[in-house]
Amino acid sequence: MLVVPAIDLKDRRCVRLYQGDYQKETVYGDDPVAIARGFEEAGAELIHVIDLSGAKEGRPVHRDLIREIVKAVSVPVEVGGGIRDLDTIAAYLDDGVDRVILGTIACREPDFVREACRRFPQRIVVSLDVRGDYVAVEGWTEESQIHYLELAKLFEDAGLRAIIFTDITRDGTEEGVNLKRVEPLLEAVSIPVYLAGGVSSLEDIRRVLPLEEKGLEGVITGRAIYTGALDLREAIRLAKGQK
C-alpha cells in the first residue's frame, strides 16, 4: 500500500484547511518545491498536489509552481484543483504530471470523465469529496445531491486510474480515518481507491492495511506529516510491510 503525502497550494504556499474551510487555513511552508523534495527523500512513491486556489476559482492558478514541483522530483505527481476541460488536462500531462484529478466536473458532467479517460488512458483520477453521504463540489464550498456510491458506480467501466475518497469532516483534523464510508465504496467498485481525510498516526495506517486486499491502493495524508504526528518514512515502511 502507498502512503501518499499531500501538498495543498494556496497563494503559492503550502497550507492545510480544516474540514475544507478556506477561512481555517494553517500555513506549513513557503517553499512547496522543497517540501516535495523532502517527501521524495523520505521514500514517497507518489506526491498528491492540489491547487486549492484553482479549485475555488474553477481554473488552474498554480500551474507554474506545479511545473516546478514536477521538475524537482523523480517520483510521479498527481494534480487536481480547477481542472474543467481537456486542454487543461493535456497541458498538465505535457508538463510531466502523471495523473490528473477531476472533482467538480466529474460530479456535474460524468460523460466528460469518460471522454477524458478515452483520450488519456490510465491518467485520470476522480476525487469523491464527501460530506455525510453526498459529494461536495467547487472546492468543497457547495454540496451536491449525488450520493458518493451512485457517482462512483457511474465510472466503473470508464477506465479510471483510481478514485480518491475524502471524508471532508475528517480532513485536516487528525482525528483518525473513518472506514465506515470507504468500505462500502470498495465493495461497490473494482477501481483502485485511495483514502484521504483524518490520517493521524501509524495506528491509522495499521487500521487500513487489511483493506488493501479489497482494493485500497493507498492513503493520502497531509497535516499529520507537517505537525510531526506521523513520520512519513516510518509510515511508508509500515505500509510496505517493512520493519
* DSSP for 17-56, written as a single string: EETTEEEEEEEEES-HHHHHHHHHHTT-S-EEEEEHHHHH
pLDDT attached to residue 19: 55
- 242 HSE (CA, 13 A, CB side): 9
- Average pLDDT on 51-66 reads 90
Q: pLDDT of 70-98, one tens digit each?
A: 999 999 999 999 999 999 999 999 999 99
Q: pLDDT of 184-243, one tens digit each?
A: 999 999 999 999 988 889 999 999 999 999 999 999 999 899 999 999 999 999 999 864
**Does residue 25 carry a pLDDT above 80?**
no
pLDDT attached to residue 174: 59
55 or 142, greater pLDDT: 55
Cβ contact 222:198 at 8 Å: no
pLDDT attached to residue 57: 85
- Average pLDDT on 10-32 reads 76
Straight-line distance from the first to the last Cα atom of the chain, in angstroms, rounded to the nearest whole number: 15
pLDDT attached to residue 215: 97
pLDDT attached to residue 180: 86
pLDDT attached to residue 164: 97
Q: pLDDT of 160-180, one tens digit each?
A: 999 999 888 665 555 678 788
Q: If we measure between CA atoms, which residue out of 192, 171, 228, 223 comes closest to residue 7? A: 223
Residue range 2-239 forms a domain whose CATH class is alpha beta
**Which residues are part of the catalytic machinery?**
8, 129
Q: If we measure between CA atoms, which residue out of 85, 72, 59, 81 comes closest to residue 9? A: 81
pTM of the model: 0.92
DSSP reduced 3-state for 195: strand
